[in-house]
A and B are shown apart, each in its own frame.
Chain A
Amino acid sequence: SAVISQKPSRDICQRGTSLTIQCQVDSQVTMMFWYRQQPGQSLTLIATANQGSEATYESGFVIDKFPISRPNLTFSTLTVSNMSPEDSSIYLCSVEQGDTQYFGPGTRLTVL
């Protein structure tokens, strides 16, 4: 099974600022995924990040707000830009191996 780490684990940010979240996997994977989980809610897919190509965003999410980098097969970053209190959520990265998706521990973001 894949082991995934995320940094930071939590942060409190001021509105209008940006935060970059890092995701590191202990093995090479083709696809990495970024999800958002708002308080008390389910997980919503933000985008799929493939190495060597632009990320693919789901409906309701745009690159200007959530730019993603995927410089190699074990690492990705998600930036939450120009933050507002509505962006307060847990952000999780995940990878797929076989038919199983493994999740990182998440980054708990609070925007004031």
Chain B
Amino acid sequence: GQSLEQPSEVTAVEGAIVQINCTYQTSGFYGLSWYQQHDGGAPTFLSYNALDGLEETGRFSSFLSRSDSYGYLLLQELQMKDSASYFCAVAPTSLHGSSNTGKLIFGQGTTLQVKP
């Protein structure tokens, strides 16, 4: 089976740094993605890791450790507009190979509340 775990809620203040962790169990793993979703909006892509290490995109960074089946999203210099739900998502491989199926298995999401 496939499962992902992430905290349900995180609260932080403007200007702070917050880390949202994600652990996963999958039968085949191609990569780990992070998505942001504001209330009433569509999920928008933030970051993707296929290999171990840190990927940095502006204020957002994402880390992956394949051996630990673990990743995190790091948000720096928090702003009020960062209040949203954040989802980690695993891209599983095909059942009998290593190719990317294109589909995503999502975690339950972490609601981030940024306070003044």
Contact = CB atoms under 8 A, between A and B. Distances in A.
Contacts of B112: none
Contacts of A44: 106
A82 B108 CA distance: 28
Interface stretch (A12-20, A72-80, A101-109): A101-109
A99 B104 contact: no
The A contact surface, by secondary structure, is strand
Smallest CB-CB A-B distances: 5 pairs? A103-B42, A96-B102, A43-B106, A42-B106, A31-B102
A100 B48 contact: yes
Interface residues of B, number: 22
Given A48-B102, A48-B103, A96-B102, A42 B48 contact: no
B79 to A, nearest CB: 23
Contact of B87 (A42, A96, A104): A42
Nearest to B45: A100
B104 A42 contact: no
B44 A103 contact: yes
Contacts of B91: 99
Given A42-B106, A45-B105, A92-B42, 10 more contacts: A33-B102, A33-B104, A41-B108, A42-B87, A42-B107, A42-B109, A48-B102, A99-B50, A100-B45, A101-B104
